[in-house]
Amino acid sequence: MFLRSFPLLCLLAFASFFTACTDDTDTNLNPAPSQPGTLDVEIDHVAGTEPLAFNTTYTTAAGDKFTVSRFKYYLSNFTLGKTDGSSYLVPESYFLVDEADPESKFFTLADIPSGDYTSLSFTIGVDSTRNVSGAQTGALDPINNMFWTWDSGYIFTKLEGTSPQAPNQALVFHIGGFKKPNNTIRSVSPTLRGVTIPIRKDRNPAVHLKADVLRLFTGPNTIRFATTPNVMGGADAVKIADNQRAGFFTVDHVHTN
């Protein structure tokens, strides 16, 4: 009897191992999806009407000329909303997007409960909790050089380059900080232009986002390189973060296939 039931007992023991952990990580806000689907996110980097390329000269709305040699940023906490007001936060959705790494501009949000979603929101940056949660892996690994060591926390957006208007030609914009009054975490919900995203097991929808580097320097706050060529957190970072919230990201189009 014991011998015969032994495999069953083992199975039960391991089954409890899995269910217990599922209970720990899921919350009522995110009920286990029955037939989950995916959403692809693809991001194009542009400077106004032109595609972004390193070491190419662009002009800001205010007339400053500049080139870009490094451009990377964090996106996190992707949330899909429905017309009834309910929403689904994709767990562990942390992505480091890097102009130098084309693969980083395409990623998939997986295990989304099936349904018709009419909004997409996400955070430019990293939520405050993860800024103070100790050693992280993956996108949040400090090896990615997006972590301040002397004032610990993530650099949310990094743009470096040159400008003839800058006093020493160099541009360094490190946008980060998660504490008042210099909190630069910004959540955005770029309009889907009336398109509904159908999340189904057998479908493959995709959102194409456009990130415009010119919009870092224009919007609620005009950034001039003669006076503001070097930002590492602080009040000027807040100004750029406010510009990011206002128009850095747009949805170019949505594939509902």
Partner 1 sequence: MWPRLFQLTALALAGNLWLAACGQAETATPVAEVPGVTVPGNFPAPVYAAEANPPTLPAFELGRALFYDPQLSRTKDVSCGSCHQQFAAFAHADHRVSHGVDNRLGTRNAPPLQNLRWRRDLLWDGGAKHLETMPLAPLTNPVEMDETLENVLRTLNADAKYVQQFAQVYGKKPIDSQQFLKALAQFTAALTSSNSRYDHYARGEAGGTLSAAEVRGLTLLRQKCSACHGTDLFTDESYRNNGLAGGFALDSGRAHITRQARDRGRFKVPSLRNVARTAPYMHDGRFETLTQVLAHYDHGVTESATLDPLLRQPDGRLGIPLTSAEQADLLAFLATLTDEQFLHDPRLSEKPR
Which residues of the shown chain bind partner 1 in the complex (CB under 8 A)?
2-3, 6, 9-10, 13-14, 16-17, 20-21, 24, 131-137, 141-143, 147, 149-153, 179, 182, 233-235
Beta carbon nearer to partner 1, 180 or 202: 180
Nearer residue to partner 1 within complex by CB, 34 or 129: 129
Q: Is the peptide bond before 91 cis (omega within 30 degrees of 0)?
A: no
Closest to partner 1 by CB, 146 or 254: 146
CA distance 159 to 164: 16
**Residue nearer to partner 1 on the CB measure, 68 or 237:** 237
Q: Which among 225, 217, 232 is positioned nearest to 162, based on CA atoms? A: 225
Please say whether the beta carbons of 154 and 125 come within 8 A. Answer: yes
State the Cα–Cα distance between residues 76 and 91, nearest whole angstrom.
9
Least distance in angstroms from the C-beta of 136 to partner 1: 7
SS (H, E, C) 157-226: EEEEEECCCCCCCEEEEEEECCCCCCCCCEEECCCCCCCCEEECCCCCCEEEEEEEHHHHCCCCCCCCCC
- Select 17 or 102, whichever has its Cβ closest to partner 1: 17
Measured from the CB of residue 122, what is the shortest distance to partner 1 in angstroms? 24
Which tokens belong to 225? Answer: 């390189």
Q: Which is nearer to partner 1, 176 or 205 (CB)?
A: 176
Q: Output the smallest distance, CB 35 to partner 1, in A.
A: 27
Q: Shortest gap between Cβ of 151 and partner 1 (angstroms)?
A: 4
How is residue 90 written in tokens?
């994709």
Give the nearest distance from C-beta 14 to partner 1 in angstroms: 6
Q: How far is the CB of 89 from partner 1 (least distance, A)?
A: 21
Which residue, chain included where needed, has tokens 């959403």?
Answer: 39
